[in-house]
Structure 1
Amino acid sequence: MEQFYLKNVARYHTLVERIDPTPKPRIPAGTASPNMVVSARIRPLSQDEDFPSAIYPRSVQQNVVDIHDLYNHPKGNPILKSFDYQVDQLFNPESTTDEIYERLVADLVPFAWNGGIGTLFAYGQTGSGKTFTVSRLEQLVAETLMNGTLEGDREIHMTIIDLAGNAAFDLLSKRQPVSLLEDSFGFTQMVGAKEYQVRNKEEMKILVEQATSFRRTASTFKNDASSRSHAICRIRIKDPATGTDGLLYLIDLAGSEGARDVASHGADRMRETREINNSLSVLKDCIRGKAEADALQSSARRKPGAKMPHIPFRRSALTKVLKHVFDPVGAQKCKTVVIACVNPSLADVGPSKNTLRFAELLRVLIPVSGKMVSDPMVPVTWTNAELREWIMQNFDTPPILPHIVASRESGAQFFNLTGTEIEYRCQKCPGVRIEHAKAFRSKIWGMQAEAQNMGWPNPKGVLSQTDDRVGENSDAVENFVR
Structure 2
Amino acid sequence: MLKRGSVMDASSQSKKAAPARVKVGVRLRPYMSQEENKLQNCCVRGLDDQSLEIINWRNQLETMKYQFDAFYGDDSTQQEVYARSVEPVLSHLLDGQNASVFAYGPTGAGKTHTMLGSPEHPGIIPRAVKDLFQMTRSENSSSDHWTFKVTMSYLEIYQEKVLDLLEPKHQDLPIREDQDKNIFIPNLTQKIISSFSDFENYFIPASQNRTVASTKLNDRSSRSHAVLLIKVQKREGFSPFRQFTGKLYLIDLAGSEDNRRTGNQGIRLKESGAINSSLFVLSKVVDALNQGLPRIPYRDSKLTRLLQDSLGGSAHSVMITNIAPGQKYYFDTLTALNFAAKSKQIVNKPFTQESNHMPSFVPIKRQREGKEPSTTAPQPNKKLKSESGEESPKPTESSLSTFLKTEGLDSSVVERLLNLEQMLMKKGLKGIPLPRTPKGERLELKRKVEESQIVIQELMEKQRELEAKALAADSGLDQSPNPGDKCQTPEHDAFQCKVKPLQRSAASCTIQRKQAIVQPLQVQNQNTPVSPLGEIAIFKKERLKKKVPCDGSENEANWGMNINADVVEKTRSNLLHILNTGDLKELKSLHKIGDKKAKLIFGWRKINGPLSKIEDLQEIEGMSAKMVASFIKVNLLSNL
- Judge same fold: TM > 0.5, yes or no: yes
Task: Give the distance between the partners of 1:234 and 1:94, measured in 2 at CA.
Answer: 30
Structure 2 CA distance for partners of 1:37 and 1:150, relative to 1, 3 Å: farther
Q: 1:209 aligned to 2:195?
A: no
**Is the CA contact 2:57–2:330 (under 8 Å) kept in the aligned structure 1?**
no
2:108 to 111, 121, 127: 127
- Cα shift at 1:227: 0.3
Cα offsets for 1:294-329 (capped at 9, x unmatched): xxxxxxxxxxxxx7753221111112223344465x
Q: Does residue 253 in structure 1 map to residue 227 in structure 2?
A: no
Decide whether aligned partners of structure 1 residues 261 and 192 sit closer, same or farther in structure 2, where only a CA change above 3 A counts: farther
Task: Give 3-state SS (helix, strand or coil) of 2:340's partner.
Answer: helix
Structure 2 CA distance for aligned equivalents of residues 322 and 36 of structure 1: 13
Superimposed CA distance per residue, residues 182-216 of structure 1 (whole angstroms, 9 cap, x where no aligned partner)? 25536543233210010001111332222221111
* Residue-by-residue CA offset, 1:44-79 (whole Å, 9 max, x unaligned): 1123212535244343x55221222443xxxxxx86
The verdict on how the C-alpha distance between 1:365 and 1:209 changes in structure 2, with shifts beyond 3 A counting, is closer
- Equivalences for residues 373-392 of structure 1 within 5 A: none
Does 2:285 correspond to 1:286?
A: yes
1:82 to partner: Cα distance: 3.2
Matched residues, number: 313
Tell me, in whole angstroms, the C-alpha distance in 1 between the residues paired with 2:346 and 2:249. Answer: 24
Match of 1:195 among 172, 190, 199: 190
Q: Describe how 1:84-103 pairs up with structure 2 within 5 A.
A: 84-103=65-84
Report the 3-state secondary structure (helix = DSSP H, G, I; strand = E; otherwise coil) of the residue aligned with 2:91: helix
- Are the structure 2 counterparts of residues 95 and 169 from structure 1 closer, same or farther at C-alpha, using a change threshold of 3 Å? same
Aligned equivalent of 2:307 = 322
2:330 aligned with 1:349? yes
SS at match of 2:100: strand
Matches within 5 A, 1:69-218: 69-71=56-58, 82-135=63-116, 136-147=123-134, 148-150=137-139, 152-174=146-168, 176-183=170-177, 185=179, 187-218=182-213
- Structure 1 residue 122 displacement after superposition: 0.1
CA positional deviation for 1:150: 4.3
Partner of 1:177, secondary structure, is: coil
1:289 positional shift: 5.2
Deviation at 1:248, TM superposition (A): 0.3
Equivalent in the alignment of 2:225: 230
1:325-336 → structure 2 map (5 Å cutoff): 325-326=310-311, 328=313, 333-336=314-317
Aligned partners of 1:418 and 1:181: how far apart in 2? 22
The answer to whether the 8 A contact 2:114-2:124 is kept is yes
**Which has the higher relative contact order, 1 or 2, with Cα contacts under 8 A spaced 6 or more apart?**
1
Describe how 1:42-81 pairs up with structure 2 within 5 A.
Answer: 42-52=28-38, 53-59=41-47, 62-71=49-58
Three-state SS of the structure 2 residue aligned to 1:153 is: strand
C-alpha distance in 1 between matches for 2:84 and 2:185? 31
AA aligned to 1:315 is: D
Structure 2 CA distance, aligned partners of 1:191 and 1:361? 32
Q: Residue type matched to 1:40 in 2?
A: V
Mapped contact 1:159–1:196 kept (Cα < 8 A): yes
User: Offset of 1:349 from its aligned partner?
Assistant: 2.1
Query: Is 1:142–1:205's contact at 8 Å kept on the other side of the alignment?
Result: no
Change (3 A) 1:67 1:169: same
- Change beyond 3 A, Cα 1:284–1:70: closer
Structure 1, unmatched stretches of 5+, are 1-32, 72-77, 294-306, 367-412, 420-482
Using the TM superposition, give the Cα deviation of residue 111 of structure 1 relative to its aligned residue in structure 2, in angstroms. 0.7
Unaligned runs of 5+ in 2: 1-18, 117-122, 141-145, 237-241, 353-640
Q: In the TM superposition, what is the alpha-carbon distance from 1:42 to its structure 2 partner? A: 0.4
1:183 and 1:189 in contact (8 A); partners too: yes
Taking only aligned residues, the RMSD between alpha carbons, in angstroms, comes to 3.0
TM-score by length of 1: 0.59
Q: Any idea what SS the aligned residue of 1:191 has?
A: coil
| Residues 183, 361 of structure 1: alpha-carbon distance in 2 compared, 3 angstrom cutoff | closer
Q: For the residues of structure 2 that align with 1:336 and 1:361, how far apart are their CA atoms?
A: 14
Identical amino acids, percent of aligned pairs: 26
Partner of 2:380: none
Cα distance per residue 1:246-299 (max 9 Å; x no partner): 11000000122114246x223543433232122123223435655x59xxxxxx
Aligned partner (choices 340, 347, 358) of residue 359 of structure 1: 340
Structure-1 separation of matches of 2:43 and 2:150: 40
Please say if residues 153 and 240 of structure 1, whose CA atoms lie closer than 8 Å, have aligned partners that are also in contact: yes
> More displaced, 149-158 or 234-243?
149-158
* Structure number with larger C-alpha Rg: 2
Q: Distance in 2 between matches of 1:101 and 1:46?
A: 22
SS in 1 for 2:167: coil
Structure 1 pair 162/58, CA: closer, same or farther in 2 (3 Å)?
closer
Q: Tell me which amino acid in the other structure corresponds to 2:25.
A: S
